[in-house]
Amino acid sequence: MKRIEPPVGEAAEPFWEATRDERLILQWCTACEQPVWYPREVCPTCLGDTLEWRDSSGQGAVYACTVEHKAEPPYVVALVELDEGVRLLSNVVGSPPDQVAIGDRVTVTWEPLSDGRNLPLFELVN
């Protein structure tokens, strides 16, 4: 797959900076104690603007997945539900695509981008 490298949105600068050290961080609203994904200026639950960045476990499970069969080679696009409760779109790599199933436990892994940032991907646990 030829990657479209993600731009850095204003609200997500700390997120992308952390990826340089292979750290997955998530915003939390300090008012209502909810995790916020994707990064924004205000909490989508209470509109509070006191958001703080906390380390994510990087652990989760596959919530939904598809194999892009027209690609050569085919690859997995998945919605990963982190243990913190938010869902990220990503790829599950490191296993044959047909081995990846909903409910599988996954952990974050990193793919370098051209500017020193890293893109969070996931791989099956075990």
Give the residues lining the site for another protein (CB under 8 A): 1-10, 12, 38, 63-71, 75, 77-79, 87-91, 102-103, 119
Strands 35-36 and 59-68: unpaired
Q: Which residues are within 8 A (CB) of 89 and not within 5 positions of it... i.e. 6 or more apart?
A: 77, 78, 79, 80
CA atoms of 109 and 105, how far apart (whole Å):
13
Q: Residue 86 Cβ, how far from another protein at the closest point, in Å?
A: 10
Residue among 28 and 80 whose Cβ is closer to another protein: 80
Residue 43 tokens, joined:
């909490």
Residue among 24 and 78 whose Cβ is closer to another protein: 78
Q: Residue 90 Cβ, how far from another protein at the closest point, in Å?
A: 6
